[in-house]
Amino acid sequence: MEENKFDIQDKAYHFPFHHIPYFDDNKNVRLSRKLYWGLEYLCYQKHIAEKILSYRPVSILDVGCGDGRLLHFISETGNNSVCGSDGEIKKAGVDLSKKAISFARAFNPDCNIYCCDIKEITDTFDAVTAIEVLEHIPDNYIGNFLSELQKHLNPKGRIIICVPTTVVPVTRKHYRHYTIELLSKCLSENNIHLKIISFEYIFHRPWWLKAFRRLEYNGLFSLEIKPLTQFVWKKIWNKYRFANENNGTHLVCVLQNS
């Protein structure tokens, strides 16, 4: 039976490909877009998604979900062998950015996506995540934020936090970066009754990555040699994913109620 032509077209909208070509600020035509730190981003996002799913949660709340990339990663990665008993995970995301939430809803039709303060959500979850969020929270609100994460956690659930480390400079968008000692101090000073049950430093930036980035993308041209990109990705995933406090760019912590 011939497939309906509308269905063929509709299936093409797994990504808004019409937005890939664009005019830059100087009105020049550009036919591709590059995320300069895309390999690092994929590395810690994939690692976190696999870690979350290894706990077999039945429900997940991603706090500060942004455009919903982690939730999409979980949907792509999850299967009956790693998630809930029936293979279905109740996934939800929350963020204050209306722009980001619009993307999150478009890319995650199977998730409940909320544009509101976390306080407005009443459900509790097996896994609560805050991935690259804590560094955006002002000092005078961070205690309340951590408390809200805990309130939305089921009694035996886990909170997964990922933050940039002090190995990388603090950017204009961030209030602070972390070590495990600084994060532990933050919990104790704000009287948050959560215990860190595991932590790891993720992504050791190799010396040659900057040269590879310049080869693929610079002000004059954009180039992607698929076998080379795949080779570099495998190198990063297998050799540079795990790091230590002296070279790791991201700190991933798992917490439970104490």
Nearest CA to 95 out of 131, 141, 59, 43 is that of 131
pLDDT of 2? 56
How confident is the model at residue 128, as a pLDDT? 98
Residue 178 DSSP code? B
Specify the number of domains making up the chain: 1
Residue 105 has what pLDDT? 95
Q: What mean pLDDT comes out for the span 184-190? A: 95
**Is residue 250 scored above 60 in pLDDT?**
yes
By three-state DSSP, how is residue 251 classified? strand
* Residue pair 201/248 in contact by the 8 Å Cβ criterion: yes
Judge whether residue 176 has pLDDT over 80. Answer: yes
The reply to whether 92 falls in a domain is yes
Q: Would residue 83 count as lying in a domain?
A: yes
In the Cβ-directed half-sphere of 55, how many Cα atoms lie within 13 Å? 23
Residue 143 within a domain: yes
Q: What is the CATH number of the domain that holds 153?
A: 3.40.50.150
Strands 29-30 vs 194-204: parallel, antiparallel or unpaired: unpaired
Total residue count of the chain as it appears in this document: 258
The 10s digit of each residue's pLDDT in 115-141 is: 999 999 999 999 999 999 999 999 999
Higher pLDDT, 59 or 14: 59
Whole-number pLDDT of residue 150: 97
Residue 5 lies in a domain: no
pLDDT at 87 over 70: no
pLDDT tens, position by position, 47-58: 999 999 999 999
Q: Two tokens at 121?
A: 């959500």
pTM metric for this prediction: 0.89
C-alpha–C-alpha distance, residues 115 and 110, integer Å: 16
Q: How confident is the model at residue 86 (pLDDT cuts 50, 70, 90)?
A: low
For residue 87, tell me if it sits in a domain: yes
Average pLDDT of the segment spanning 152-181: 95
- The domain of 115 spans 41-204+250-257
pLDDT single digits (tens) 205-226: 999 998 888 888 777 777 788 8
Q: Indicate if the pLDDT at residue 37 is higher than 50.
A: yes
Q: If 0-12 CB within 10 Å is exposed, 13-18 middle and 19+ buried, where does residue 136 land?
A: middle
DSSP state of 27: S
Q: How far apart are CA 195 and CA 189, in angstroms?
A: 13
DSSP letter string, 96-149? S-HHHHHHHHHH-TTSEEEES-GGG----EEEEEEES-GGGS-GGGHHHHHHHH
Do the domain assignments include residue 22?
Answer: no
Considering the domain boundaries, does residue 1 fall inside one?
no
Summary mean pLDDT of the chain: 89
What number is the average pLDDT over the span 184-191? 94
The contacts of residue 140 (CB under 8 Å, 6+ apart) are none
Q: In this predicted structure, what is the pLDDT of residue 3?
A: 63
Interatomic CA distance for residues 171 and 37, integer angstroms: 15
pLDDT at position 5 over 90: no
What pLDDT score was predicted for residue 11?
Answer: 74
Would you state the pLDDT for residue 147? 96
Q: Where are the alpha helices (DSSP H) in the chain?
A: 5-11, 38-54, 69-77, 98-107, 142-151, 180-189, 209-216, 226-235
Structural domain contains residue 233: no
pLDDT band at 81 (very low <50, low <70, confident <90, very high): very low
pLDDT digits (tens, 9 = 90+) for 188-201: 999 999 999 999 99
